[in-house]
Structure 1
């Protein structure tokens, strides 16, 4: 066991976003690619650095509310019906009381709100948070990408679909139209090297490092998501974690080591998201 455990928030969020990509329903890389699109839009709008980074983090975790439901994953990837709001609200509920991920809860809550209104939130137009509006259009752009066709051969169709929809902020549609003229915009989205490294310069959390208690706080969120993949598991991960910790205490491990056992127990079934 390690004598100390410090992890930068970016590393943890990247890892958890990668876990959300372990999908059997065809939305692999969806969160990273949505975040890349959102990043380009945010930079075009010259968002402040903290706003830009909250946008990117929110995009990386925007479908956390659907992570435990494969059917809903498939649904959100291909449909824009009223049921689309369920996972957004669930994502909000999952994150709202978390430190420090609570700051992402509101943007995720409204990331499917339509610009023209008719949303459960009652919001419309610019009352919808800007970050949510950016994630909404970025999400839809990414879903329209056909992985079997070269990205530059399908951009005209994607542009047309976005232009014809009234779901999105017209100003953001115009921003997308401007960005779409540049090949780098499209190539960045599908470039696996860029997908793996575009977070390297993210610094919103500065020099802050998560200690073991911070990691446990967030791991409990993902343990809940994992356990909801089945009606039979309830609080399985948390209960396993408690047993791990109890046995570690009985074996005389240090307090930090016992917490590390607890953390491992919380995340031991993370592969069930696949």
Structure 2
């Protein structure tokens, strides 16, 4: 099965989850894509070369998940960028159609003057990586407090001060030429022009196979789960359990793949939650729980915006809805919840109960069965699916702590 999708729209929408900060959605990746493609066009790169820069820009910080890491990257001077570049390379290189992009990501913080852990310097650094490095730092220098045309001269001076040492001198000259145009800066901050400037040809629909979409979904599952050692491998665990349940309930092959994709992406919106809330050892305050409730709302709307099939979006985003109508964030009731959405809810609760959390260790079968049984009695979970879950309990994956997709430092957490 192949789905008509726009790969640009898919990645640009999914990249929104990389841009959650305490101030909201920052649009950093989209703005870096705009600056990078503008530089590429100015120096006369081919359409294929600009395409690689666009795709790499949209996911260049895939190796960063925690808000603490994002705060460090928001500083103009970065002293140890290699780890997140290397992590990004490892994650992205597992997606077949993004493999050429992975090498760009690995080098996108290499300093032109050398001294990089990659061993590269000067023109040996891939041109696309040099362009994204410059674009990334330009965007970091942007200020919400000052009008962009007032801030422009400060940005130019800061970039020029690092010419040759950090940035490619030829690209700095190109940037200086672009920076003279007010429209360059106004497009950068405009809510109307940015997407059109990056994607001059709209609706570039291509047939994307379910397995390609699955690879992208698994890539984002890694990013999501790397946010906390307590959620490490959670998305993969939910996907595994949901697929086993769906298989036991006679779902067809294509629906099983869609279920796995939904499982990988069900917590996409959790990147909007501050790290300290996810790792809090005690009870959450009303304000903290309000922030938790927003994560499935973001999952739903990001997936819809990305052009993901509505079935996958609903299976992924409805995992905190309840047949009794007491779930969140949409307050759906039993007739509005498909079998796939109910399966995902059961898989999420079961996987969470098995896992270590800041406030308790992972639970065994007896405790899990007791808790989920009470949820069935209150009509918070579908009783038939919970019954099926324990019928196949001994055949469910144990939840390995290791995966080639995941940076190995997480394996010891």
What's the TM-score bracket when you normalise by the shorter of the two chains? over 0.9
How far apart, in 2, do the equivalents of 1:216 and 1:24 lie? 30
Quote the offset at 1:262 in angstroms: 1.4
**Equivalent in 45, 57, 81 of residue 78 of structure 2:** 81
How far apart, in 2, do the equivalents of 1:210 and 1:5 lie? 5
Structure 1: give runs of 5+ residues left out of the alignment: none
1:120 aligns with 2:117: yes
Q: Which has the larger radius of gyration?
A: 2
How far apart, in 1, do the equivalents of 2:199 and 2:46 lie? 18
- What is the aligned partner in structure 1 of residue 66 from structure 2? 69
Query: Residue 10 of structure 1 contacts residue 202 of structure 1 at CA under 8 Å; is this kept in 2?
Result: no
**Equivalent in 147, 151, 157 of residue 150 of structure 1:** 147
CA RMSD across the alignment: 1.9
Quote the offset at 1:178 in angstroms: 0.8
Q: How does 1:1-274 map to 2 (within 5 A)?
A: 5-24=3-22, 28-66=26-64, 68-165=65-162, 166-201=165-200, 208-274=206-272
SS in 2 for 1:82: coil
Q: What TM-score, normalized by structure 2, do the two folds share? A: 0.62
Q: Which has the higher contact order (CA 8 A, sep 6+)?
A: 1
SS in 1 for 2:89: helix
Query: Residue 148 of structure 2 contacts residue 185 of structure 2 at CA under 8 Å; is this kept in 1?
Result: yes
Q: 1:10 to 1:52 in 2, by over 3 A?
A: same
Q: 1:202 to 1:63 in 2, by over 3 A?
A: farther
Post-superposition CA distance 1:196-233 (Å, at most 9, x none): 33343469xx7642121111111111101111111112
Consecutive aligned runs of 4 or more in structure 1 exceeding 4 Å deviation: none
How far apart, in 1, do the equivalents of 2:76 and 2:25 lie? 13
Query: Residue 6 of structure 1 contacts residue 209 of structure 1 at CA under 8 Å; is this kept in 2?
Result: yes
How far apart, in 2, do the equivalents of 1:201 and 1:211 lie? 25
SS in 2 for 1:134: helix
